[in-house]
Amino acid sequence: MKSENSLQIIFQGLSQKLQADFELLSSQFSHSLSTGEAREFVLKELLRQYLPAKLGAEKGIIISSVENELPSKQIDIIIYDKLNTPVLYNVENLRIFPIEGVYAVIEVKSNLDSKTFKNAIENVRSVKKMTKKAFIEQKGAIVSTVNLYGKEWKYFPVMGFIFSYAGIKDIKLLKDKLRQDDDLKNLENNIDTVCILNNVIITNQNTDGKIVVTKEPDTRRGFIKTSNSLLLFYLLMMHVLTQTWMRPIKMTEYAFKTTFGDFEI
C-alpha cells in the first residue's frame, strides 16, 4: 500500500462496507421504518469510529432554552460535544440534547429524489434555526469566537448535512433545488454539504477555487462526481469539526417558569 494512497484505499473499503451493511440490513426488513433505522445505524456506527473522541454521534431530539421554541423532529444523526453536553433523556433509541451542545446534524436517506431532498432540507433547517443562548457568560481577557457563514460567533453554529446511499441521475436538479432554496440573508440556516455514497458531493466553492464545507458569502453551489465521495465528505466535515469548542451550558435556563419553593434560613 502506497502511503499517499492509504487514506483513499481505507475509505474505498469503508464505502463498500457501508453500502454492503446497508443493503444487508435493508434486505432483512420489509417495513420502511426498519429500513430507515438500518440506513442511519450503519452510518452512525462508522462516524463513531472515525470522529474525534470528544464528539458523539446519536439519533435524537434537540430542544432549546427558548420557552416557545418547538423541539426538533427526530434527527437521524446528531454530532455533539460528548464531553460537555448533558443528555437530558436517554432511553433506548431516544435521546434529548440541548441545542447549545450540538455541532452538526445529518439527515440520512436511502434514495435522494426531489421529495426526500425537500424533506431532508426542512428537517435540517428546523435545527439550524434554533436559538443557542443558554451559556455561562465568558469573562476575562480571552473570549473565544469563530467565523462561519460570514459572521463572528461566540459559539459554534450548527452545521447541516444530508447523506444518501443513492440518488437520482440528474444531480444538477438537486444542486439547483438547493441553490434556489438558499437563504442568502442568513447563510447559517442553509444546508452545507450533501453526500451521495460512491457518487457525488454537492458542496461549495469560493472565489479562489477552494472547496469549503459550509455555505459562505463568497461561495457558489456546485457538485463533484466521485467514487470517493465518502472520503471527501469526511475530510470536509473534519476541517471544521476538529476545531469545535463549547462554552459551558447554563442549564438553569431550561427550567423556564419552574418554581422550587422558598429559600429558608
* pLDDT for 81: 97
Find residue 139's DSSP bridge partners.
Answer: none
Cα gap 162→153, rounded to integer Å: 24
pLDDT of residue 33 exceeding 70, the answer is no
The mean pLDDT value for 148-156 works out to: 96
* pLDDT for 143: 80
* pLDDT for 4: 57
pLDDT of residue 19 exceeding 60, the answer is yes
The mean pLDDT value for 76-86 works out to: 96
pLDDT of residue 3 exceeding 60, the answer is no
Which three three-digit cell numbers place residue 86?
448533558
Per-residue pLDDT band for 2 (boundaries 50, 70, 90) equals low
Alpha carbons within 13 angstroms on the beta-carbon side of residue 134 total 23
pLDDT of residue 241 exceeding 80, the answer is yes
The amino acid at 55: L
* pLDDT for 30: 57
* pLDDT for 260: 87
pTM recorded for the entire structure: 0.93
Lowest mean pLDDT among 21-30, 62-71, 103-112, 203-212: 21-30
216-236 per-position pLDDT tens digit:
999 999 999 999 999 999 999
What is the percentage of the chain residues whose pLDDT exceeds 70? 96
Which three three-digit cell numbers place residue 77?
444523526
H or E element, residue 48: helix 32-50
Per-residue pLDDT band for 175 (boundaries 50, 70, 90) equals very high
pLDDT of residue 32 exceeding 60, the answer is no
The mean pLDDT value for 19-45 works out to: 77
Alpha carbons within 13 angstroms on the beta-carbon side of residue 227 total 5
pLDDT of residue 59 exceeding 50, the answer is yes
* pLDDT for 86: 92
H or E element, residue 95: strand 94-98
Per-residue pLDDT band for 1 (boundaries 50, 70, 90) equals very low
